[in-house]
Amino acid sequence: MVPINYSFSELKTENTTFVPIKSTNLLRKPMPLSPIGHKLTILDSVDSSNNYAMGQVQARKAEHGEAWFALEQTAGKGQRGKLWHSEPATNIMVSIVLETNRLASSDLFYLSMAMALGARDWLAQHTGSETQVKWPNDLYWRDRKAGGILIENKWSGSEWQFSVVGLGINVNQVVFEDTGRKPVSLRQITGKTYDLMEETRKLFTSLEFRWQQLAGDKKSILHSDYQEHLYGKGEICRFRKNAIVFESLVLGVDANGELLTRDTIDRRFRVGEVEWI
């Protein structure tokens, strides 16, 4: 594994604007000023970019907004212990370190909303309004999965110190393993081939915008936008809980990240409690 260090300024940055994060009296301290992606390291091959980034956090070598882009992952991680498979040097596989010790532990799902919306904002610039967030933070185009997000956290007692946000997004890949999950790539949707570094730069800009909404305590906006772009909202969807498969009307997601549905009764589910069918 050969890391290649890039300053964010060495990438193309025309038409990129970062708005400084303002402190508010609702936060204990001003949030870090360095924008997401201000420093980018490209890894030739690594087991998981999230593992690598968390290792840098543990060694106290990481700073807020720093990112690691993997050309190849040998053991990429998805939600709930699943593996994330990706063709080398074809897709966006990047992990970002965020300093979270000025956020409350109750903001955990708001961070998930912010990162999912930022990724969705970027993807929708290419694919349009049919791009949605599937609870809790997968990216879907129509009924096909275009990407996913895995957030891992570092705690010191009850203090939430850092998050590592791992994003795996299908960009230029056109052949996928037959897993039954109906993956789709940006290239398959639009018919175009994309510059990964250029698209990663744009993704960082979208993520930074949503991060600043969280830092600026604009959580009601994040929640409203998440509901607006929620996959399956207002539709009857199929779920599996343990061995039971059932159908339920998707109503939305509350601020704690619980999925709200209705059938014969009103239901709510924690992340990982049910699986979409």
Closest CA to 69 of 138, 171, 161: 171
Task: Tell me which of 13-22, 133-142, 160-169, 184-193 is least confident.
Answer: 13-22
For residue 267, name the pLDDT band (cuts at 50, 70, 90).
very high
The mean pLDDT of 196-210, rounded to a whole number, is 98
The mean pLDDT of 196-208, rounded to a whole number, is 98
What would the pLDDT profile of 4-26 be if each residue is shown by its tens digit? 443 333 333 333 333 333 333 33
- State the Cα angle at 75 between 139 and 144, rounded to 5°: 20
Helix (H) or strand (E) holding 197: helix 196-215
Pair of tokens at residue 52: 């690598």
Whether 78 and 48 have beta carbons less than 8 Å apart is answered as: no
d(CA 84, CA 70): 13
Buried (b) or exposed (e) across 229-255, using 16+ Cβ within 10 A?
bbbbbeeebebeeeeeeeebbbbbbee
Which CATH number is correct for 3-228, 3.40.640.10, 3.30.930.10, 3.90.45.10, 3.40.50.150?
A: 3.30.930.10
| Predicted pLDDT of residue 78 | 54
What values do phi and psi take at 140, rounded to 5? -125, 140
Spell out the domain ranges in the chain. Answer: 3-228, 236-276
| Predicted pLDDT of residue 27 | 38
Whether 142 and 130 have beta carbons less than 8 Å apart is answered as: yes
> pTM to 2 decimals?
0.86
Rg (CA), the chain: 18
Whether 257 shows a pLDDT value over 80: the answer reads: yes
What would the pLDDT profile of 51-106 be if each residue is shown by its tens digit? 999 999 999 999 999 999 999 999 766 554 555 567 899 999 999 999 999 999 99
C-alpha torsion sign, points 131, 133, 208, 72: negative
| Residues composing the chain | 277
